[in-house]
Structure 1
Amino acid sequence: MRKGSIPENLNSVTERIVTACDSCDRQADTVTLLAVSKTRPAEDLRVAYNAGQRHFGENYLQEALDKQETLADCEITWHFIGPLQSNKTRDVAEHFHWLHSLDRLKIARRLSEQRPPELPPLNVCLQVNIDDEDSKSGVTPEKLSELAAAVAVLPNLQLRGLMAIPAPRGANDDQRTPFLQLAELLKDLRTQLPEQPLDTLSMGMSGDMEAAIFSGATIVRIGTDIFGSRKR
């Protein structure tokens, strides 16, 4: 559970990012902190926003839409990071800046078709099931290239990179292994799709953020260490 206030916790997480970047000769501004705000009330997001946080990640669509309405006066960049069903693509296409969990071409096509023309393309990351876990969503590494090529030509999506949620490992060095594998997959995609701005590795959470940053993460998704344990 969190021990300090939300602003104090944001500062603490930011310091961890700086320290992790220093340890591997990276600039701290190459890592974006995504505050995972699922189940948290809009008031908590506003506190974080007033403390300087701008990127928020949501898993539950209706809850997110309600928060967006409440926080319409805030210049928030909204990321949808949960599994997405085909009957909910329109709301994501219309109300979010990023989707991190794209793993099916059917979903991608619907998002592209439903993205309002007055909005810029929706930034998307392909979720990779890096450990081939039955309990997790994501495209397999073997099918990643085919999916990426198909998504890259859709007119209202912008393919930005990859996302993964690896299984926990015991040691920090062991935890780096799947993150480094994801980084290598992104490197391969850059060769395959040189015209795409493949600049994003969305990986790392409260418990493994340092290992992810060492391995090249550009977005870390932090919830518990900012807001405390989930309400449900």
Structure 2
Amino acid sequence: MKMSVFENSQLIQRLFREAVVKRETTMPCRLVAVSKTKPVSDIVEAYNAGIRHFGENYIQELHEKSNDPVIVEKCPDVKWHFIGHLQSNKSKLLSKVKNLYLMETVDSTKLCDKLNNESAFGENSADSKLKVLVQVNSSGESQKSGTSESQVLSLVDHIRTNCPNLQFKGLMTIGSYGHDYSTGENPDFECLLECRDRVLDHMSLKPEDLEVSFGMSNDYLHAIEMGSTNVRVGSCIFGSRQYAVN
């Protein structure tokens, strides 16, 4: 029998908590429900099951959902993540997202500068600064967004030096799909951890000072085991998507 979004959400949260307890690191991990193309009713159902962090890939859809009166009323503690590619000319729309928690896909100095100049972020979030992750194209695939591994440090330095309205929180990657874990750990996730270590050394920080976001529905349990602090789960909660939004 097909499970409801509420039941799926409860199951995934249980599996998530069990995986976090088992891993070696004591760093916290966050579950983000990817609700792209899904109706507001599904988000409310997942919220009622205990999920608080939700991720959207399309800026127009995120703006509409975050300002939806049903979401505003029934999901007061919702925390939104933008997890898609954002064109720099759409940065103003991102600043109008209610309860925006984290921008996960910063990948260029141009985008950083545009986001930094949007002074309205503090009006729609609890913080005056916009929290951002630098997206790394760890697989080197041309169709994927993200800065190259070699440019990570320079982009991080740019944010910290030239973007006082942004708060650098860590790194993220999507990586290639369908890795066979019987052959070993996902090399794209290992690449991100290596980038994290270089940033830590460069900034004289400790591992707990930076987030590393990787892992989705098909591999989030492996990602948690490897030390991810932020996993994005969509189809396991909401089911498969039948259409796309441009």
Does the aligned pair in 2 maintain the 1:115–1:121 contact within 8 Å? no
Counterparts in 2 of 1:173 and 1:161: CA distance versus 1, 3 Å: farther
Moved more, 193-202 or 133-142: 193-202
For residues 120-179 of structure 1, the C-alpha deviation after alignment (integer angstroms, 9 at most, x for no partner) is 211100110101001101111011111111012211101001110111311255343321
Q: What corresponds to 1:190 in structure 2?
A: 200
Contact 2:137 2:148 (8 Å CA) reproduced: yes
State how far apart, in whole Å, the 1-side matches of 2:182 and 2:9 are: 23
Letter in 1 for 2:7: E
Provide the C-alpha distance between the structure 2 equivalents of 1:220 and 1:77, rounded to a whole number of angstroms: 14
Q: Structure 2, unaligned stretches of length 5 or more?
A: none
Q: Which residue of the partner structure matches residue 155 of structure 1?
A: 164
TM normalised by structure 1 equals: 0.91
Distance in 2 separating the partners of 1:146 and 1:91:
27
- The residue that corresponds to 1:230 in the other structure is 241
Structure 2 counterpart of 1:223, one-letter code: G
Contact 1:102 / 1:124 at 8 angstroms: preserved in 2? yes
Given the alignment, which residue of 127, 131, 142 partners 1:123?
131
Amino acid across the alignment from 2:171: L
Secondary structure in 2 aligned to 1:180?
helix
Match of 1:215 in 2: 226
**Cα RMSD (Å):** 2.1
Aligned to 1:72: 72
Length-normalised TM-score, structure 2: 0.86
- Indicate the larger mover: 201-210 or 188-197: 188-197
Aligned to 2:175: 166
Any residues of structure 2 matched to 1:54-69 within 5 Å, and which? 54-69=52-67
Mapped contact 1:172–1:211 kept (Cα < 8 A): no
Partner of 2:13: 14
Partner of residue 105, structure 1: 109
Does 2:178 correspond to 1:178? no
CA contact (8 A) 1:78 1:97 kept: yes
Counterpart in the other structure of 1:134:
142
Are 2:44 and 1:46 equivalent residues in the alignment? Answer: yes
Give the counterpart letter for 1:66 in structure 2. Answer: E
How far is the alpha carbon of 1:26 from its aligned partner? 4.5
Distance 1:173 1:54, change over 3 A: farther
Can you give the 5+ residue segments of structure 1 that lack an aligned partner in the other structure?
A: none
Aligned partner of 2:158: which letter?
A
- Higher mean C-alpha deviation, range 79-88 or range 65-74: 65-74
Give the aligned length: 230
Of all paired residues, the percent bearing the same amino acid is: 34
Equivalent residue in structure 1 for 2:212, among 194, 201, 219: 201
Offset at 1:198? 4.1
